[in-house]
Chains A and B, each alone.
Chain A
């Protein structure tokens, strides 16, 4: 059902695009991510509900980690969490479609350095540990996320 609804939305967006006014309000580029070839990995993460819970725990860990706290504390991260759910769901083959900005665009002016990126990876690993996701499964996802460091680390 999710797939059909998402599909319908995607179709609607495609049809609407030529009618949208050109110039300053043109749609920003989005990014499609590689999909892990596994029939079970989405369920190993607990499906959509599991991913939503994971992102809540991830936010806690991001605020706890001194490297990432400045980026996530004292602000409303709801939109980020929802986009993360879409992104990870897509990568895990859950059928979601990520509609956010590209990794490069969304991190462009943040000045993320190597240590801060690794802090985020650490926070994510701890969050996955708390959600009892097996280490081997975690690493399969991390393998897809790791190369995104090139677009995220700008300092």
Chain B
């Protein structure tokens, strides 16, 4: 919890420095709903078209990465975003914080640090209560072609390829649970299309991965160690300039015998832009069965602050 707050403070500091840095970088902000918050020389992007993240760091719908390059920078600008997410599920707590830099609407570099807190279940699992798995995710994403906002008359979506390198800090433990390694990379390709005439955004991501429970329980396992191609889909509807609602679905591999019993995760969310640069997402997520027999479900909240 402490480093979640620290991350948000860093984010707030970054956002606070935004006007000064923005003057240099050419100003990279979103549409406001309160005019008084408009900094000098601001440009804009439609809400959600910069994407948000839950705990992996790469911009997207939260649970899945999109072809978006995060931050609010246009193709001539550099932008950055910091985020903090809290996901309390049935038995666990996930805390996550991180930041990304978006360069010229072409390249995205991201970092996320997440904690998977086993809470009282830790003791039941033979660990101690409140035992946690920490994970670092280093992400890189390259937009290949397409502009999801401006290319309305083209059938081409915006397409990006990316990779995430994840490091889990409980090497011996995840191996004891059956994982092959505690660090590994995912590779993905995303295609995102905004149908403005229908106020609808659709994203499809294909991911090569062998992560167990999003990497919290290591990578590869006793049931398999091959990279598998996993599909992920998001749909979002633009309610107005500052609010979008959406849903995501994500499939994950079952590599750990007796541990990972469910492949699928999904969420429903409402993303809100209360003021320029700030995106608040609340939603309901089902991460599937992780270790225990119960579906890990819960409401979550995520804050993305950008400049």
Contacts and interface: CB of A to CB of B under 8 A. Distances in A.
Contact of A136 (B149, B153, B199): B199
Question: Mostly helix, strand, loop or mixed at chain A's interface?
Answer: helix
Contacts of B27: 115
A118 interface: yes
Contact of B74 (A115, A142, A144): A115
B186 interface: no
Nearest to A114: B74
B197 A118 contact: no
A119 interface: yes
A115 B76 contact: yes
B298 interface: no
B196 interface: yes
A143 interface: yes
- State which size class the interface on B falls in: 20 to 34
Interface of A: 64-67, 113-116, 118-119, 121-122, 125-126, 129, 135-136, 139-140, 142-144, 146-147, 149-150
A118 B74 contact: yes
A146 B241 contact: no
Contact of B77 (A65, A115, A119, A150): A115
A119 B31 contact: no
B209 to A, nearest CB: 34
Contact of B44 (A113, A119, A136): A119
Contact of A115 (B43, B154, B238, B240): B43
A122 B196 contact: no
When A and B form their complex, which 10 residue pairs have the shortest distance between CB atoms, in order from nearest?
A115-B43, A143-B196, A143-B197, A135-B240, A114-B74, A122-B44, A147-B153, A146-B152, A143-B152, A66-B41
A88 B172 CA distance: 65
A147 B149 CA distance: 9
A114 B195 CA distance: 21
B44 A146 contact: no
